[in-house]
Amino acid sequence: MNVNDIRIQFPVLGSKAYGKPLVYLDNAATSQRPLPVIEEQARLAKTANANIHRAVHYLADKATDAFESARDYVKEYLNAASREEIVFTSGTTASINLVAFSFGEAFVGEGDEIIVSCAEHHSNIVPWQMLCQRKKAHLKVLDIQENGCLQVENLEKLISQRTKIVAITHISNVLGIVNPVQEIIRICHNHGVPVLVDGAQGIVHSHVDVQSLDCDFYAFSGHKVFAATGTGVLYGKKKWLNAMPPYMGGGEMIETVRFSGTTYAPLPAKFEAGTQNFNVIPTLIPALSFHRACLENMEILDYQKNIREYVYDRLLEDKRITLFGQPESLQDKIPLFSFSVEGVHHEDLALILDKMGIATRSGQMCAEPLMDRLGVTGLLRVSFTWYNTLEEAEYLINSLYRAIEMLS
Amino acid sequence: MSCTLEEKKQAVIEDFSLYDEWLDKYEYLIELGKNLDPYPEELKTDDHLIKGCQSRVWLDYWLQDNRLYFRADSDAIITKGIISLLIGVYSGRTPEEIAADDFGFVADIGLRDNLSPTRANGLVSMIETIRTVAENAR
């Protein structure tokens, strides 16, 4: 398998933007979908559209099978201990909000503390701030070093008797640095503190084995790993999920409902209130199976490594460019690059690159506290995935130089 | 004022029609942005700031002889170029003329992308502010 074998599976990659071949480098925001994903969604809409679980008819059985097969698949994919530990949500944000609310209701009180890092996406900050407001708890922040890596050595000092949970990103969506989550989890567990891992980028660039990581929660979105939108996953250890109250009420999450009191369904239905996204959740199967095939293919991995090194070197050697997120070893960096250019606004760069056919991301990337920490108003980000080519990387660098010339 | 608001807008649309290529349009906007009249540093304050998601825009205005005058700045050069267009067209017009205008010409010259409300940039808010200022001054 090589990059061309991959590209032909993605219909959009052959298209043009403003007359130029489309170069899609905003993969960290959402990935494009391969044909098996597109076809599965269409197949379900055509042949298995019925509300799942309750109805006793043919079509509902088909829809339920597809939905629950996705749960089995994700359970295997993450190596979770049981299928009850896989909860479907709309996305990473919903998964984290669920934990912040339900875990918070059960375990967080006045004066308690929650730790996040300063490199978090807003989705792993704001739900915890809301929880802290609700419970009069405190949010503590783990800082980064100058190169963008977390100050893991300071984590132990931040943890106190009042620390109830640590919520940390697996891979920063701005810095592209793989955090040592295994070590973080070990430190936290030594103090009896559970850990939620925001895996929105982590799932895209690593083999995630939740039992080997020993994380308490792992949240990710299918749409960043080639599935359709609205395919969120929350992995949670059974002991926590069982001890947490439901997040939303209604639909399938009940056992019996009386005006004198309602009892809740067992896991995972307890956390899946309302009609589920049954037409798209099953796209997780072809999406993750495509993704796994790439992650396990040496030729593809080597190719992506070349792209990563090429872009990294080109950005570093240009004195006008400041690249944020430079870990000691390139092993800890995914092919995601956020940078600023001296005297040039990131929005201007993004607008011009767009007209050259290149989709990038500019702005704060939903990480305003990190932007403040880095002392910038925003950055330009390019993020690569399996279908991107070395030629596209070269075109990016040449176009970037041209855009800088135009703007300087 | 020697020409009408409509004539001013037509002139801008004609200027832009000279450029077929997107990058040439942007080159032109960058040039306009670089040549925009300087905006006083001391007026880059929070009450002049129109906050957008990505680029920041500062706007100052005054009313003189029943005509509204604007000056503005941005930290992004393309936004500055569009500001230059807007100021060229609307500065010195009467509040009645401005309030009655639909500001559609920016879309006519193909810059709708830069003005889409979902972009949440300072420019959209700038147009809203110009419109509001004009309505309040009527």
Which residue in A has a C-alpha nearest to residue B80's C-alpha? Answer: A348
Is the per-residue pLDDT at B49 higher than 60?
A: yes
Reply yes or no on whether the pLDDT at A164 is more than 90: yes
Are residues A206 and A91 both part of a single domain?
A: yes
Tell me: pLDDT of B119 over 60.
no
Residues A10 and A104 occupy one common structural domain: no
| Sheet containing A361-363, strands listed edge to edge, beginning at the edge strand earlier in sequence | A321-324, A336-341, A379-383, A361-363
Asked whether the predicted pLDDT for residue B133 surpasses 60, the reply is yes
Are A248 and A381 within one domain?
no
Number of folded domains in chain B? 1
Pick the last residue of a domain from A290, A323, A350. Answer: A290
Strands A379-383 and A361-363: antiparallel
Q: What is the ipTM of this complex?
A: 0.87
pLDDT attached to residue B107: 75
From chain B, the residues in CB contact with A355 under 8 A are: 22-23, 26
Average pLDDT, stretch A88-104? Answer: 98
Model confidence at B21, in pLDDT bands (50, 70, 90)? confident
Q: What is the mean pLDDT of residues A146-175?
A: 97
Task: Among A16, A345, A354, A362, pick the best mutation site for testing chain B contact (most B Cβ within 10 A).
Answer: A345
The answer to whether residues A23 and A110 belong to one domain is no
The enclosing domain of B55 has a CATH number of: 3.90.1010.10
Is pLDDT of B113 > 70? Answer: no
What pLDDT, on the 0 to 100 scale, is given for residue B16?
Answer: 84
Return the pLDDT at A252.
87
State pLDDT tens for residues A125-135. 999 999 999 99
| Boundary-marking domain end, from A271, A290, A309 | A290
B interface with A, Cβ–Cβ < 8 A, is 22-23, 26-27, 30, 53-56, 75-79, 114, 121
Contact list in B for residue A407 (CB cut-off 8 A) is: 30, 77
Residue of B nearest to A353 (CA): B23
Check CB contact under 8 Å for A347 and B55. Answer: yes
- Same domain? For A58 and A166 the reply is yes
Cβ-contact A48, A59 below 8 angstroms: yes
Range with the poorest average pLDDT among A19-23, A34-38, A83-87, B23-27: B23-27
Nearest to B30 among A346, A377, A406 (CB): A406
The pLDDT of residue B2 is 66
**What is the pLDDT at residue B83?**
87
Three-state SS letters, chain A: CCHHHHHCCCHHHHCEECCEECEECECCCCCCCCHHHHHHHHHHHHHCCCCCCCCCCHHHHHHHHHHHHHHHHHHHHHCCCCHHHEEEECCHHHHHHHHHHHHHHHHCCCCCEEEEECCCCHHHCHHHHHHHHHHCCEEEEECECCCCCECHHHHHHHCCCCEEEEEEECECCCCCEECCHHHHHHHHHHCCCCEEEECCCHHHHCCCCHHHHCCCEEEEEHHHCCCCCCCEEEEECHHHHHHCCCCCCCHHHEEEEECCEEEECCCCHHHCCCCCCCCCHHHHHHHHHHHHHHHCCHHHHHHHHHHHHHHHHHHHHCCCEEEECCCCCHHHECCEEEEEECCECHHHHHHHHHHCCEECEEECCCCHHHHHHHCCCCEEEEECCCCCCHHHHHHHHHHHHHHHHHHC
- Mean pLDDT, rounded, for A346-362: 94
Domain closes at, from A290, A310, A332: A290
Amino acid B111: pLDDT: 72
Of B53, B55, B114, the CB nearest to A345: B55
Q: Which residues of B are catalytic?
A: 53
- In this complex, the residue of B27, B53, B79 whose CB is nearest that of residue A406 is B27
Q: Distances from the Cα of A229 to the Cαs of A16, A97, A157, in angstroms?
A: 23, 18, 39
A157: domain CATH number?
A: 3.40.640.10
Q: Are residues A169 and A222 in the same domain?
A: yes
In the predicted structure, residue B110 carries a pLDDT above the cut 80 = no
Enclosing domain of residue B80: 5-137
pLDDT band (50, 70, 90) for residue A208: very high
Considering only the beta carbons, identify the residue of A345, A355, A377 that sits closest to B77: A345
Which H or E run includes B64?
strand B57-64
Q: Does A345 touch chain B (CB under 8 A)?
A: yes
Q: Is the pLDDT at B122 greater than 70, yes or no?
A: no
Q: What percent of chain B has pLDDT over 90?
A: 39
Mean pLDDT, all residues of chain A: 97
CB contact under 8 A, B78 and A347: yes
Residue A145 in tokens = 């070093």
Query: What is the arithmetic mean of pLDDT over B17-38?
Result: 90
8-state DSSP, B41: G
Give the structural domain span for A13: 3-30+297-407
What is residue B120's predicted lDDT score, i.e. its pLDDT? 52
The chain B residue lying nearest A344, using CA atoms, is: B76
Percent of chain A with pLDDT over 70: 100
Kindly state whether residues A107 and A203 are assigned to the same domain.
yes
Name the domain count of chain A.
Answer: 2
Do A75 and A9 share a structural domain? no
Write out chain B residues lying below 8 Å of A362, CB-based: 54
Average pLDDT on A226-242 reads 98
* Mutation target vs A (from B56, B77, B111, B118; most A CBs, 10 A cutoff): B77
Q: What is the CATH number of the domain that holds A21?
A: 3.90.1150.10
B22 to A18: CB separation less than 8 angstroms, yes or no:
yes
Query: Domain check: are A325 and A268 in the same one?
Result: no
Residues A212 and A305 in one domain: no
> What is the rounded average pLDDT of the residues B32-51?
91
Q: Are residues A282 and A308 in the same domain?
A: no
At residue A224, the pLDDT reads 98
Q: Which helix (H) or strand (E) holds B96?
A: helix B95-100
Q: Measured between CB atoms, does A347 come within 8 Å of chain B?
A: yes
Q: Using CA atoms, how far apart are residues A282 and A357, in angstroms rounded to an integer?
A: 32
Of A38-42, A118-122, A400-404, B84-88, minimum mean pLDDT range? B84-88
Q: How confident is the model at residue B79 (pLDDT cuts 50, 70, 90)?
A: confident
Model pLDDT, residue A183? 98
pLDDT at B53: 56
Average pLDDT over residues A313-327: 97
Q: Which of A118, A132, A294, A366 is catalytic?
A: A366
A285 and A302, same domain (yes or no): no
Which CA distances in Å does A245 have to A115, A138, A167, A248, B10?
A: 22, 22, 19, 9, 63
Nearest to B77 among A348, A355, A378 (CB): A348
Establish if A17 touches chain B: CB-CB under 8 angstroms.
no
A406 touching B (Cβ < 8 Å) = yes
